[in-house]
Amino acid sequence: MSRIAGFTGHQSLEMTNILSDGLIRGMGVSSIKLHSFGEDNINFVIQGKAQSFYTQNLWVVLDGLIYNSDEFETTQNDAELIGILYLRFGFIGALERLNGDFGIALYDGKTDSLYLGRDRLGVRPLYWTLLDNHLAFASRPLPLAKIHGKSITLNKGFVARFAVCHYRYFDNIPDESPYKEVFQLPSASWLKWNNGKISSGIYWQLEDKPDLEGTIEDLASRYKFLLLDAVNRRLQKVCKPAFTLSGGMDSSSVLACASHNTGQRFDAFSSVYHDKTYDESQDIQVMLSGPVQTWNPIQVDNPDIFQLIQRMVTAHDEPVATATWLSHFLVCEAISKGGYDAVFGGLGGDELNAGEYEYFFFHFADLQGQGYDDNLTTEIKAWAHYHDHPIFRKNSEIALATLSRVVDTKNPGRCLVDPQRFNRYSKALNPDYFDISSFLPIMEHRFSSYLKNRTWQDLSRETAPCCLRAEDRQTKAFGLYNIAPFFDDRLVEFMFRISGNLKIKNGVTKVLLREAMKTILPEETRTRIKKTGWNAPAHLWFSGQGRELLLDRVHSQHFQAKSVFRMEEVLHLISEHEQIVQSGINQENHMMFLWQLLNLDVWMEAIQT
């Protein structure tokens, strides 16, 4: 486990004690060292495996790993490399040269300046706050919230979004945190504190460049090299890795690449279910005779979600975005008992390779905008053929109706907020708590392609931030590194120059990845179209006895005293969810809303106590 924290400013001994004690208590562990540097100008808190480097006038602390250290002169550790690059190129110049997952704090004693930096995709977290004339930072937000006094002030906008919005909108404002006085350093960003003043900016961003030319074989070869290298560089930084494994392309590709690079087989862990709708055990079998040394299926069916959510919220410092992460939490717990130090997974593969179902619509919009009407008709028919669902139907009428909601056809590349998704549960929020209509989600529009804009929206403001945060919190809770090779910035830059026709074709997603993984993945896995992923039968968790426990909670005095929800609407949704589940009818239920409600209430109760 690696975490960093610190504070700066010319403070009294009393203020130093307040800040250091608050940060140490907030980190919640005993294996912490407090280092003072200079004339009480800077103090660093270092936990566990966090790396540090210092000279007479320079101190660096690092939460994370640098993967291209071999490109520079030999150093004792990654923190020393950062210090050397800073002295040679400055802080921004150093960040621009790093390939890694990191939160960095660097103090220059000569200029009395503190710098903070975060990796390009936000794999590692970093937060900061101001108290009087002092800046404090930490890898987690709660320690920073605690140093402001006994009463922690929540960010009402975040609470409201978590209460009634789809999880994609939780991170639409990248510099916010769940706590009013604590700010998140956005991905690919830097911050400088000097003489009581803050300056900040970004050091990396994607540009709208022409798609790469070449045959699919040539481009797949380049993709294969980058993915193999991304996996290999990460393998070299850990001692005993474990791999999460589903039946899909992403986690399977990461594991297969690791085996291809090393000639070794690795231990894999999967969540499995008795309900075959969610269970991928059969799909996983083909991997067991190849790159898997020992397969560890973790049974998840009807867990004690109330007890588990308590534990998860403690690990997260905030409510947990989706029920997906309960299964992941149990998998991480199992991995931690085997002496492993890192967890490799396929997070990011869906975004880079257009693997999410909704990416079809934005590919359709690109085809429509380019005048490829015949291709559009063919793709819609193939989409409906492969992906029709009893609840989520697929046909031409639905495709065109969805396009009218989610893209601006008069403004090439501009994606829109889906009003059906955004407003679905807005009536459940108490308007006296927060006016959710005042929240207007920001939609990225830096590319001429709808698909690329939608993908960047997911990477920067929607799916990736909350998933990366959850993966980081849960692996660290069990003393593990989280490793996500698809978030290698070289892969990201490459895939944003790949045409949509090489991501989605004939109703099949991840076209270029499938081509790149020839001879590496088993053919059954490489050519599989069905997608399940990290889903779980969470609708059952809020039915029957789960419903009764949830009703007890929402009828309690402490729940109603928070005044976040409109009780009549909450009770209606709980009742309707039960009717849908018990009837077995093909109708969308309210599992996601109920998961968010329970998580939010558990978190708010924990903060208040």
- For residues 9 and 112, give the distance between their C-alpha atoms in angstroms, rounded to a whole number: 9
Which is it for strands 183-184 and 127-131: parallel, antiparallel or unpaired? antiparallel
Q: Token pair of 118, please? A: 């975060």
Q: Strands, DSSP E only, in 203-290?
A: 241-244, 266-272
Which residues, including other chains, have CB under 8 Å from residue 211's CB and lie 6 or more apart? 497, 498, 499
- For residues 528 and 250, give the distance between their C-alpha atoms in angstroms, rounded to a whole number: 12
What SS3 state is found at 253?
helix
Contact 37, 50 (CB under 8 A): no
- For residues 22 and 13, give the distance between their C-alpha atoms in angstroms, rounded to a whole number: 14
Architecture of domain 2-202: 4-Layer Sandwich (3.60)
- For residues 39 and 259, give the distance between their C-alpha atoms in angstroms, rounded to a whole number: 51
Ordered by start, the domain boundaries in the chain are 2-202, 216-353+461-526, 359-457, 538-608
DSSP code of 5? Answer: E
DSSP code of 256? Answer: H
Q: Edge-to-edge strand order for the sheet containing 292-299?
A: 292-299, 266-272, 241-244, 342-344, 481-483
Q: Token pair of 595, please? A: 């998961």
CA angle centred on 449, ends 443 and 453, rounded to 5°? 25
Q: What is the pLDDT of residue 549?
A: 97
Average confidence (pLDDT) per 10 residues, the chain, 609 residues: 75 54 53 48 68 89 95 88 97 98 95 96 97 89 86 96 97 98 98 95 98 98 99 98 97 99 98 91 96 97 94 96 96 98 98 95 97 95 88 88 95 96 96 97 97 98 98 96 98 99 97 98 94 76 96 96 97 98 91 98 92
CA angle centred on 361, ends 517 and 471, rounded to 5°? 55
DSSP character string of 124-163? S--EEEEETTEEEEESSHHHHHHTT-SSPPB-HHHHHHHH
Q: What is the pLDDT of residue 531?
A: 66
Nearest CA-CA partner of 66 in 278, 277, 255, 233: 233
Report the Cα–Cα distance between both ends of the chain, in Å, rounded: 26
- For residues 261 and 396, give the distance between their C-alpha atoms in angstroms, rounded to a whole number: 44
Contact 194, 113 (CB under 8 A): yes
* SS3 per residue for 175-221: CECCECCCEECCCCEEEEEECCEEEEEECCCCCCCCCCCCCHHHHHH
| Total count of residues recorded for the chain | 609
Could you tell me which residues are beta bridge partners of residue 118? 103
- For residues 249 and 401, give the distance between their C-alpha atoms in angstroms, rounded to a whole number: 30
Q: What is the pLDDT of residue 34?
A: 44
Contact 166, 463 (CB under 8 A): no
Q: What is the pLDDT of residue 33?
A: 47
DSSP code of 38? Answer: T
Contact 116, 95 (CB under 8 A): no
Q: What is the pLDDT of residue 26?
A: 53
Architecture of domain 216-353+461-526: 3-Layer(aba) Sandwich (3.40)
Q: What is the pLDDT of residue 74?
A: 78
- For residues 67 and 63, give the distance between their C-alpha atoms in angstroms, rounded to a whole number: 13
Q: What is the pLDDT of residue 31?
A: 40
Contact 87, 97 (CB under 8 A): no
Which residues, including other chains, have CB under 8 Å from residue 129's CB and lie 6 or more apart? 135, 136, 137, 144, 145, 147, 148, 181, 182, 183
